[in-house]
């Protein structure tokens, strides 16, 4: 049987590891490198949503 939750979890893990940079930083979809411990965050409360940089997070949250 197909497990949607496991598929979402695997996709989120793959995306996170693809974004991972030296020093625990992440590369956002826009290309910015950011420290997820200090800035940015997931744009939704979906547990499988990967974090984005402050710039992208502000665009998502404020539409700017």
- What are the sequence ranges of the domains in the chain? 30-64
Question: Could you report the per-residue pLDDT of 8-45, keeping only the tens digit for each?
Answer: 899 989 999 999 999 999 999 999 999 999 999 999 99
On whether the CB atoms of residues 50 and 16 are closer than 8 A, the answer is yes
pTM, entire model: 0.81
CA 51 to chain centroid: 3
Question: Could you report the per-residue pLDDT of 46-58, keeping only the tens digit for each?
Answer: 888 899 999 999 9
pLDDT above 80 for 1: no
Please state whether beta strands 33-34 and 26-27 pair in parallel, antiparallel, or not at all (unpaired). antiparallel
Token duo for residue 17:
């590891």
Question: Distance between CA 62 and CA 11 in Å, rounded?
Answer: 27
């Amino acid at each position: 049987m197909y497990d949607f939750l496991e598929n979402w979890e695997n996709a989120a893990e793959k995306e996170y590891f693809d974004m991972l940079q030296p020093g625990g930083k992440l590369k956002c979809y826009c290309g910015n490198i950011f420290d997820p411990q200090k800035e940015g965050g997931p744009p939704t409360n979906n547990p499988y949503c990967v974090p984005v940089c402050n710039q992208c997070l502000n665009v998502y949250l404020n539409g700017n």
